[in-house]
Amino acid sequence: MDQEKLIVSKIKKGIVIDHIPAGKALKVLKILGITGYTDYRLAIVMNVPSNKLGMKDIIKIENKILDKRELELISLVAPTATINIIEDYKVVEKYKVKLPRVIKGVLRCPNPMCITNKPDEVAETIFVLRKLDPVVLECKYCGTLIKGDEIEHNLSIQ
């Protein structure tokens, strides 16, 4: 339950991304552009017990704010995530990430024949949310459906 507290302390200011599905923390960090050296002071907690999820991951980043794009991307790989904004050691804001109904430009279409994969085509990809649990997205141009791990494998940032 509070096993996380045995591993990492509370932060003064920043964000806590909680209820990340176990194993997805590193992918979330990648989305935030953190893949190696970083100036942020941060903690990654993986595989702690969660009432809702069985096991979960948590990321705490001091003095970081998230933009809309980052939140959208996080929702694709960690649809269960909760964002906690911390000020002066207190949670001043808490919300769940929300999958956008339409996702523009951040995913590739896996269909090689799709117009969005034509070398001379500059149209950005558009996916429409078709199902929530599990998440199913549909390419607006060719109707290809992507779900589960395919979603993160087709993120245009890798």
The neighbour count for residue 147, using CB atoms within 10 Å, is 13
Contacted by 73, from Zn ion, ligand CTP, none: CB < 5 to 8 Å by type: none
Does position 4 interact with ligand CTP (CB under 6 A)? The reply is yes
- Smaller CB distance to ligand CTP: residue 4 or 152? 4
The neighbour count for residue 59, using CB atoms within 10 Å, is 25
Does position 154 interact with ligand CTP (CB under 6 A)? The reply is no
Which of 105, 104, 97, 107 has its CA nearest to residue 147? 107
Q: Scanning residues 119 to 138, which ones bind ligand CTP (CB under 6 A)?
A: none
Tokens standing for 70?
Answer: 């980052």
Does position 64 interact with ligand CTP (CB under 6 A)? The reply is no
SS (H, E, C) 106-128: CECCCCCCCHHHCCCCCCCCEEE
Contacted by 111, from ligand CTP, Zn ion, none: CB < 5 to 8 Å by type: Zn ion
Least separation, in Å, of the C-beta of 12 and ligand CTP? 7
Least separation, in Å, of the C-beta of 54 and ligand CTP? 14
Does position 89 interact with ligand CTP (CB under 6 A)? The reply is yes
Does position 144 interact with Zn ion (CB under 5 A)? The reply is yes
Does position 58 interact with ligand CTP (CB under 6 A)? The reply is yes
Q: How far apart are CA 51 and CA 83, in angstroms?
A: 17
136 Rama sector, left if φ>0, alpha if ψ -120 to 50, beta otherwise: beta
Residue number of the CB closest to ligand CTP reads 10
Q: Scanning residues 107 to 136, which ones bind Zn ion (CB under 5 A)?
A: 109, 111, 114
- Smaller CB distance to Zn ion: residue 28 or 109? 109
Q: Using DSSP bridges, classify how beta strands 126-131 and 136-139 pair: parallel, antiparallel or unpaired.
A: antiparallel
